[in-house]
Structure 1
Amino acid sequence: MNLADMLSYADIGQLSRIATTYQCECNGNSKNDLIQSILSTVNRRDVFEAQIGAMKLEDLRFINSLLFDARDAFSLEELIARVQQSRFSSAEADALTGNGIGQAVSIVETAAEPKKSRTSKAKDSTKAKVKPTSKTKAAKEKQQPEAGPRDTISRFKQYGWLFNGYAGADRYLFQVPTDLKERFKETMERRLVSQVTYTDEEPHAYRDEQMLMGDDVSQLLTYIHLNEISLTSEGNMYKRNVLQLLELFGVKEQLPGKGEWRFGYGRRIKEYPSRMSLLYDYCFYKGWIAETETMLVLTPAGRDRQVSKTSEPPDKLYQFWLRLYKSPIPNIRAIVHWIDKLGSRWVKAETIMSTLTPYIKPFYYDQPETILEQRLISMMMHLGLLRIGEHAEFGQVIRMTPLGRTIVAGQSIDDEAIVLNR
């Protein structure tokens, strides 16, 4: 539903709170007057962009997590989890304790609880006007509770950016108005585009790996079909087989370094290079390969797939990559969307990094810069979604491929992360 539809279902109390937030001048007793005044204010571009411009980084991360989700409605528990994910520092995480699920009913029933009356405090002050000491002030400030998920969700309801249902089970589900989603995306795009540097000149050289990964699916299955591949006690291929496979693939990768931290991006990411690990896990997930106690073999389905010797569709590999990497990078869909938008033409990679890293949460020892450069941009190149070039003036530059723009724009897939069991 669009904003106008959701406002029509809202009660006059919520409408009044939204109107107050936007300082609308209207008849507070007329629901129709409130709705018309809110719509005329919110639909003004300057007002909307001012609201977005004033948002904290954690709020921008939160709204980003909602804009690119395949689902339309979220439970309160899911929203609380999204708010928690948007707060990266440990101090912020500690502040969330006790502010979560137990407050579900009060959030659903009202957008924001009114502040406690200060009348009694005022009366006390008239009896004895004691100037507070610096210690007293510090103690009061220390006692101020940190803002939790409840406050964030309530604030978004006051802006008219979140609405919950009004009957039955839907009463406990929240939605972002459809038209506001598009306006959020457009405003965020303008904001992010202004932070990067473009060049109209072609780089003197660039890498383009379109269709290569799809061909290497067939190469992997054929190699397993033609060779007896023994596995270590941990279930990995021996180094000799890995090196032979890397020679057959369209892209040559280096073996992971000894002691290098690699976890969370696939079953065999610790032992195999990133691109090869994705190929291996894809074939495992499709049920084409199986690991016995000692051997790596093709399944009956894998033998049928190997006989065809066709290239795997790039959109299928992209879907798998999104879902496999979703666990360590929860907002991967949003980041990929912004890389797509910012990479519509050749753009300086360094400015992409500085613009998008604030929206990426560290994953154990993987810092945002590493995640963006190695787990996202490099893998998107391997998937044929973008090109990475070298420019004489700007250094490394990137640009989405036509295939990549089509694939990213056309995806509507299950948003659940893939977990590959051993």
Structure 2
Amino acid sequence: MWEFRQRCLQNQTISGFESAVEVVNGRGDGPMNLADMLTFADIGQLNRIADYYQCECKPNSKHELIQSILTTLGSRPFFEQQVRQLNQADQRFLNNLLFDPRQYYGMEELVAIARQSMDKKESEAGASPRDLIVRFNKSGWLFNGTTQQTRYLYQVPQDLKLRFRDVLSTHLRAGIAKTTEPPMYRDEYHLLADDLKLFLQFVQQHEIALNAEGMMYRRSQQQIMEHLHISEELVGKAGWRFGYGRSFKDYPDRFALLYDYAFHHRLVREEQGTLRLSPAGEDKLGAEKTAEMIQLFRFWLRLYKGAIPNLSSIVYWTGECASEWSTAESLFRQIGPFIQPFYYDTAEAIYDNRIVKMMLHLGMVRIGEHEEGRTVQMTAWGTRLAASCRSISGDVTPIMFDK
């Protein structure tokens, strides 16, 4: 085996082989590319991958098998065809892997990701999460580790991750319907950070009573709404509201985000039936607006992640697809398949109300009405935040409140 690897290195037939040798010698610990992983794969797995892609090569020649697989997967049209042929569960599984920063996965971790990628119908039809994993393994998109410590773990080749993201972006953007700029549109800029300060000022200047459940009375809520730049209709008694934060059931969407942010960061205190401003809240009144908006964005990702586990990737793809004015209908048609329903929230309701509308509140998109329907465009600020989701998705842990 070592002689074979040496010949490959001498002939320079396999790109990236040097990094594979570094791993063998214990000098490399970074992500590995497809060529590296094929070099370490046994001939049985290479034959399974070659059969999957119908490569024409000698089944007993590891050298030919590797070259044939690399040549096949090196073709962009072929790669694009593979992505187009994925079913929805495969697409969601791939998307979840692309935005997961972990280098290695245990089988149970992969099963959890695969199960999260399957909808109720697929599960009821008898589909197994392990079937997804087997398909990705056969296609050369998942490999076992190469060392004694990682042999029972799995990894995705780093260059395939980048290529998949690029091809998937092209595929999604191709189906977006563009529009001209609407005659009128809504853009909330950084008003969320302004309204956080206004809310804190209101708490500082008024004695706000809380009911037995710790909620502000409706009169206080209405006074706060009149005090903010962006007012919302108060929550009625009908309908279900849970899953999107501690105060989501009691307060309208945008204000619930502000309230949970203030409560989580201990800017306000609920004590003895009263809402009070904390010393940290007093300090926050002088905070810089841009930094606050970034923190609000990060907090929103964490707050909604419990209901929308792949929220970061949805925000990223929206940023990729809506750089110009684009119809909301086409955005959902392209990105919607990545979204799973959450109890009574359909995928479309989640995209419209929990994602795009909240991105508007965060100053990330502007929304207008066009003759072709509702149209959406990323702001420059939103584009930067959405692009950051490539690297922060793994750092986003759901917010958990005590009550």
| TM-score with structure 2 setting the length | 0.87
What per-residue deviation string (whole Å, max 9, x for no partner) do you get for residues 268-322 of structure 1?
111111000001111111122221241112223223223x254352221111111
1:408 counterpart = 2:386: yes
Q: Could you say if the C-alpha distance between residues 344 and 77 of structure 1 is closer, same or farther in structure 2, counting changes exceeding 3 Å?
A: same
Counterpart for residue 227 of structure 1: 206
SS of equivalent to 2:269: strand
- Pairs within 5 Å for 1:336-355: 336-355=315-334
Is contact 1:235-1:293 (8 Å) kept?
no
Distance 1:215 1:198 in 2: 32
1:420 counterpart = 2:395: no
Is contact 1:69-1:415 (8 Å) kept?
no
Counterpart for residue 113 of structure 1: none
What per-residue deviation string (whole Å, max 9, x for no partner) do you get for residues 373-411 of structure 1?
1000000000000000122x2121000000000111124
1:285 counterpart = 2:264: yes
Distance 1:159 1:81 in 2: 20
Q: Percent identity?
A: 47
SS of equivalent to 1:167: coil
Distance 2:51 2:359 in 1: 45
Structure 1 runs of 4+ aligned residues shifted over 3 Å read: none
Distance 2:150 2:231 in 1: 52
Give the Å deviation of 1:67: 1.0
The answer to which of 353-362 and 79-88 deviates more is 353-362
Give the Å deviation of 1:196: 2.2
1:266 counterpart = 2:245: yes
- CA RMSD across the alignment: 1.7
Distance 2:117 2:336 in 1: 13
Q: Could you say if the C-alpha distance between residues 40 and 267 of structure 1 is closer, same or farther in structure 2, counting changes exceeding 3 Å?
A: same
- Residue number among 171, 190, 193 corresponding to 2:173 in the alignment: 193
Distance 1:252 1:70 in 2: 38
Q: Could you say if the C-alpha distance between residues 89 and 309 of structure 1 is closer, same or farther in structure 2, counting changes exceeding 3 Å?
A: closer
Is contact 1:70-1:415 (8 Å) kept?
no
SS of equivalent to 1:74: coil
Distance 1:300 1:168 in 2: 53
Is contact 1:207-1:387 (8 Å) kept?
yes
Counterpart for residue 151 of structure 1: 131
What per-residue deviation string (whole Å, max 9, x for no partner) do you get for residues 191-225 of structure 1?
222322102x2110011111111111211211111
- Pairs within 5 Å for 1:7-406: 7-90=38-121, 92-94=122-124, 146-199=126-179, 201-306=180-285, 308=286, 310-311=288-289, 313-391=292-370, 393-406=371-384
Is contact 2:114-2:130 (8 Å) kept?
no
Q: Structure 2 unaligned runs (5+)?
A: 1-31
Give the Å deviation of 1:69: 2.0
Distance 1:10 1:300 in 2: 59
Give the Å deviation of 1:232: 0.7
Is contact 1:337-1:408 (8 Å) kept?
yes
Distance 1:17 1:203 in 2: 53
| TM-score with structure 1 setting the length | 0.83
Q: Could you say if the C-alpha distance between residues 147 and 262 of structure 1 is closer, same or farther in structure 2, counting changes exceeding 3 Å?
A: closer
What per-residue deviation string (whole Å, max 9, x for no partner) do you get for residues 34-80 of structure 1?
21111111111122122222211111111111111233332211211
Distance 1:9 1:286 in 2: 48
Distance 2:341 2:332 in 1: 14
Query: What is the one-letter code of the residue matched to 1:360?
Result: I
SS of equivalent to 2:150: helix
Is contact 1:25-1:37 (8 Å) kept?
yes
Of structures 1 and 2, the larger Rg is shown by 1
